[in-house]
Amino acid sequence: MSISEMLAQLKILYPDSGLSDDALTAFLTMSQTDALKRYSPFDTTITTVPSTYDYTIIRLAISRIARLGAEGESSHNENGVNRVYEGDNAILSEITPLASVPSEPEA
């Protein structure tokens, strides 16, 4: 799914974000980059994540947008309301890193 298709899905799933399309696209791009780092941490020749992770990328962007103004906050208690934010690792852990067998050295 392209970024523009992800943007359309993001706007359906989170219609009241209050952010411009450019800002939403930036969140999607950052999320896609982090998903790629998780999927292929060592092989820089891989530049895309399989499409099976498209909605994981969208969920990651939504999670980040929802925490705007409270970045890095792991716990908050005010007037009896307690908020604890789940980190990105919970969503990123759904991405299985690419594994390969090392090639034999040439003789």
Residue 75 lies in a domain: no
Number of structural domains in the chain: 1
Residue 103 lies in a domain: no
Residue 53 lies in a domain: yes
Instruction: Write out the residue range of the structural domain in which residue 42 sits.
Output: 3-68+82-92
Top pLDDT among 71 and 40 is at: 40
Residue 76 lies in a domain: no
46 and 39 Cβ atoms separated by less than 8 Å: yes
pLDDT digits (tens, 9 = 90+) for 56-81: 999 999 988 888 866 656 666 778 77
In this prediction the pTM is 0.77
